[in-house]
Chain A
Amino acid sequence: MSQLTAGGEPAGETIDLIQRFCTKSRAGCKGRRGSALIASMMFVMVVAGMGVVMIQIHTSQTKRQDQSIDNKRAIYIAEAGLAEGFLGVAQGMSGDVGTPEAPARFGDGFFWVEASELPNGQVSLLSTGMVGRGRFTISAVLEQGGDPIASLGFLSGGDLIVGEGSLVDGFDSTDGSYLSQVDNLLPGGTTGEGAKLAAMGDVVLHGTTPPGGLPTPSGTVVYGDAQPGPSGTVTSAGDVTVTGSTTPMAADVALPPVELPNVEMRRDVRIGIGNNLVLDDGEYGVSRIRIDEGAGIKLVGPATLVIGQLVMGDSSSITVDSTEGQVRIFVTERLYVPSTAALVSTQQDPDGFLLMLTTDEWLDFDEDGRVDDPLVFEPSGEFYGYIYGPTVDLEVGAGTHLIGGVAANSITIAAGSHISFDSALEGTEMAVSGLPVLVAWRIADVPDQPITRRNTTPKTYIEENALVTTRSPDAHLEVFVSIKYYDLSGTPQSYTGPSSGLDWTQVGEVLGIMWDDDAVVGDEGQEWETVPTISKRLATYRETSGKVDG
């Protein structure tokens, strides 16, 4: 502790101590002069360095985040491209949308889709999406055509029963008429091959030849396959021969409901005794048609007829001319075809006549106080066509030679009947759903194109190279269309030209459509797309026409 005098001055001893200290300090400070500055500068540099590192880390993180966001956006854009390609395939186009040189515009980004046809009717789509620094490519494989119901032959959703002494065979209408393919060495006027019976339940074959049955040597003969459902069996008794497979089917086949065309229903029609009515191509809706004895209707295709009740009298007929297109008859409440009535096809083409049935409700149609069977189908002679009735129990009369195919809730073939499957139906698009089915999906390598290289954003690249982009709905390569359709009033129409030139809102139902990338539509071997339920696709056409740029 220092000593102070009365005047507040330090005492001599204290002064001496201070002087000594100061002398010593000066001597020590001489060698360290400026060291604090260096230390502080080093500290500042360290802090600054850390700051730079932090900024770099942050910048790098931001870049990574931006890249990640761009990649995610690129995935979504690539998926949008796939959806656009899918829509194109569903509409009968190739699925190509845009090109690397002229990509499709979608939101802030761009995409293009390359489609290639694979074996078995599959289509591969490769969609590349680009936005900012993000690039992403997705590949998908689609199966065209949906459920090929007609290729399954006579298909029952439940049991399929074949009566005693029946004959089941098949032929191929693309190789000529049924008669021209009959094997004369076999009894009973049969081709001796090509039968196809399938049931989700059991196949029951009764075999004893009845009196008056077909003169087959050994009861019931199935010249081909008779396949039950996965849990079903083929049961046969008596003289039954099945020359083909009886192995159960691998999986159940569901029969989707009938989709009725939206047709205005008009008043009842009665065709008097001996009269004939000709309905030219077009779309018609009638709540009740009664064809009196000896009278007839001729339907000229392409035509669609929606009927509530169709009652045919004795010796009456319906004649179908499918030279120019398919004839479709939808019967919703009652179909009565007695054994003396006839359904005649001028072309003998099973693909040309489609009979769609929803007649499954027993009602008192003739107002006698008792309900009536909604479905009696016993036409005489040959019936060429395809019958689809997912809810009806179809019984085919003994006097009918049914040539074509059937899909129904259950099928009973009367004793002594003859049914023939037309294998040409396998090659048609007689499918329940025309929409493609996604088979596989994977992430693919981004194609090496100038626009996908990362030294610039696609937007910059497009601006620098003055590329032309198109909004996604208009970027399909096929811009020219040839279409046959019913307009909203049910009148048949056709159009060939740029897709944008057609007022799609006036298209009622598409009968056939072809697409091309040049104005000469159909020159590259395209075929008309004529899926019976193509009306499903109408929704997609309308969606397209009303779509806004993403």
Chain B
Amino acid sequence: MPHDSSLHPLRPLRRCVRAATLWLLGIVLLLPGIVQGQGAIPVEPDPTVRGLLERIEEERGIDEEALLDALLAAGPVVEQRFLDYVALPAPERAFTLDAALEGSLRSQLGRLPRLVRTRIADGESEGQRECLLALRTLERFGAATDVALLFGLASPADPELPFDSRLASQLEHSLAAILSRDVSAWAGLTRTFPALDERVTLIVLRAVSEAASPQAMDFLGELLGKDAGQDVIVLAQLGRVVEFVRAAPSQRTLDYVHESLESMDPQVRREACLVVGRLEDSQAVALVIELLADEDPLVAENAYWALKRITRESLSDDIDRWRLWYDRELAWWQTEASDLLTALHGEEIAEVAAALRGLVGHGLFRHELAAEVAVELRHPNGAIVAQACAVLGVLRSRGVTDELQQLLEAASESVRPHAEAALARIRD
């Protein structure tokens, strides 16, 4: 039996062209969906959540009283799952209600916190459980206009009594979620904050830091220095925010934090050390080194923690060693660094490699050095790129993670492990 090609010499070529076209077409059609998560598998609901949704579907809706009862009966774990599931966009859910029912359910959920408030006022509420459910609902679906309702639900009936710990904790999460979701809530909070009760202040500030956004950083920055008694808690929350927000705080905030390192209040000095440590603020190193000899040993302890965090050096807590190290680093920066950086961006491969080696071990300027080294990640020579990755792994600057991430996506097989290792060290 002769091969087809003997009959039609162009037939194999035609087949190849046809297959390639099909592949290309498939990629073109599917790629946007994959990139945008459209191809994601819809989430199946928990069996109990499915049961509740099926009930709503069968009964063609549910009133808020029945919904409240059903969720209370199901317990906090199931109610959380239910709220999480309903809050998902419809395409991401394997179980969906028709548009009318969907709208009705969301509207009932929107009214549910107010129903709880009414029941509390009428003395018909089951207390903490209902309040928690209402607060969780607002966490998922609340907006800026619901902030007052949040406080009303969580506050104790007797203002002399302390907050219920669970309600206070949930209030924090719910407020943080609203602040993250609805930017207009920040304006309202800025207006009402000065008038808040001292106990509520703590909850609000923790919610602000939990929101972990640039707005949170600005909000806290604005509060610094307004009330000396509040600076400790505001600094602590600022420290919490900078752990998660990559953007730097405003210069005013930074200046105030630096001033706080020399505050008369040891508590403020302690917190300021932690903030500059979390910010990895090399500008504050000289001040922090002097705090190693602070009269309050707890300030000295935090200063040592901050120095290790900022510089990634492992010196002991001896102030003289740190001073010597700092002087050496400054001298190196002023005399040798510029030549090395010039060589780093030069044409000669050997000189670039030597410059990369020379940049290792200088913790004071590690962010500045890392930014310069990151430029070499685009170097045409793979060995230089690999070496640059290794140096970035040693410098451990969070500022270059984006560049390394981009390299990870585009790099060849030989370079990718180096980029992965560098990222792992930075995130460690």
Contact = CB atoms under 8 A, between A and B. Distances in A.
A417 to B, nearest CB: 11
A537 to B, nearest CB: 32
B74 A371 contact: yes
A510 to B, nearest CB: 36
Given A210-B161, A235-B206, A237-B201, A245 B74 contact: no
Interface of A: 159, 161, 163-164, 202, 204, 206, 208, 210-211, 231-238, 244-248, 361-363, 369-371, 395, 412, 414-415
B86 to A, nearest CB: 19
B236 A395 contact: no
B54 to A, nearest CB: 19
B198 A246 contact: no
Given A204-B206, A235-B236, A362-B77, A370 B72 contact: yes
B77 A247 contact: no
Contacts of A159: 169
Contacts of B161: 210-211
Interface string B166-201: 100100000000000000000000000000001101
B216 to A, nearest CB: 13
A238 B199 contact: yes
Given A210-B161, A237-B233, A248-B305, 9 more contacts: A159-B169, A208-B162, A233-B274, A237-B201, A238-B202, A246-B298, A363-B75, A412-B165, A412-B169
10 closest cross-chain pairs (CB), A and B: A371-B75, A237-B202, A362-B75, A231-B243, A415-B162, A233-B240, A233-B236, A247-B305, A412-B165, A164-B162
B73 A371 contact: yes
A356 B198 CA distance: 38
A161 B165 contact: yes
A231 B236 CA distance: 11
Contacts of B243: 231
A400 to B, nearest CB: 14
B239 interface: yes
A208 B160 CA distance: 11
B194 to A, nearest CB: 16
24 contacts: A159-B169, A202-B240, A206-B162, A231-B243, A233-B236, A233-B237, A233-B239, A233-B274, A235-B206, A235-B237, A235-B240, A237-B199, A237-B201, A237-B233, A244-B298, A246-B298, A246-B302, A361-B77, A363-B75, A369-B73, A371-B73, A395-B165, A412-B166, A415-B165
Interface string B224-237: 00000000110011
B162 A163 contact: yes
A238 B161 CA distance: 15
Contacts of A371: 73-76, 78
A163 B305 contact: no
B198 A208 contact: yes
B146 interface: no
Contacts of A210: 160-162
Interface of B: 72-78, 160-163, 165-166, 169, 198-199, 201-202, 205-206, 209, 232-233, 236-237, 239-240, 243-244, 270, 274, 298, 301-302, 305
A10 B329 CA distance: 110
Contacts, number: 87
A34 to B, nearest CB: 68
B311 to A, nearest CB: 16
Contacts of A248: 274, 305
A353 to B, nearest CB: 25
A304 B161 CA distance: 41
A106 B420 CA distance: 42
B205 to A, nearest CB: 8
Contacts of B274: 233, 246-248
Given A202-B240, A233-B240, A238-B198, A211 B165 contact: no
A237 B169 CA distance: 15
Contacts of A245: 298, 301
Contacts of A164: 162
B219 to A, nearest CB: 16
Contact of A235 (B74, B202, B301): B202
A206 B202 contact: yes
A237 B73 CA distance: 36
B245 to A, nearest CB: 12
A234 B278 CA distance: 14
Contacts of A237: 198-199, 201-202, 233
A247 B301 contact: yes
A415 B199 CA distance: 13
Nearest to A210: B162
A238 B302 CA distance: 22
A244 B299 CA distance: 10
B236 A234 contact: yes
Contacts of B236: 233-236
A7 B120 CA distance: 151
A415 B161 CA distance: 10
A211 B156 CA distance: 14
B324 to A, nearest CB: 24
A370 B73 contact: yes
B109 to A, nearest CB: 20
A371 B71 CA distance: 10
Contacts of A246: 270, 274, 298, 302
A163 to B, nearest CB: 6
Contacts of B163: 206
In the complex, which of the residues B75, B243, B305 has the most CB atoms of chain A within 10 Å of its own CB atom?
A: B75
Contacts of A204: 202, 206
Nearest to A362: B75
Nearest to A244: B298
B199 A206 contact: yes
B199 A208 contact: yes
B232 A236 contact: yes
A376 to B, nearest CB: 13
A339 to B, nearest CB: 16
Contacts of B165: 161, 163, 395, 412, 414-415
A210 B160 CA distance: 8
B199 to A, nearest CB: 7
Contacts of A395: 165-166
B302 A247 contact: yes
Contacts of A362: 75-78
Nearest to B202: A237
A85 to B, nearest CB: 31
A162 to B, nearest CB: 9
A5 B202 CA distance: 140
A247 to B, nearest CB: 5
Nearest to A165: B162
A527 to B, nearest CB: 34
Contacts of A235: 202, 205-206, 233, 236-237, 240
B169 to A, nearest CB: 7
A268 to B, nearest CB: 23
Nearest to A234: B236
A236 B235 CA distance: 11
Nearest to B240: A233
A246 B271 CA distance: 9
Given A206-B202, A415-B162, A236 B233 contact: yes
Nearest to B230: A237
A221 to B, nearest CB: 14
In the complex, which of the residues A161, A236, A237, A362 has the most CB atoms of chain B within 10 Å of its own CB atom?
A: A237
Contacts of A161: 165, 169
Contacts of B239: 233
A240 B306 CA distance: 23
Contacts of B162: 163-164, 206, 208, 210, 415
Nearest to A393: B166
B231 to A, nearest CB: 12
A246 B236 CA distance: 11
B229 to A, nearest CB: 10
A235 B203 CA distance: 10
A362 B72 CA distance: 11
A233 B273 CA distance: 12
A482 to B, nearest CB: 45
A206 B162 CA distance: 9
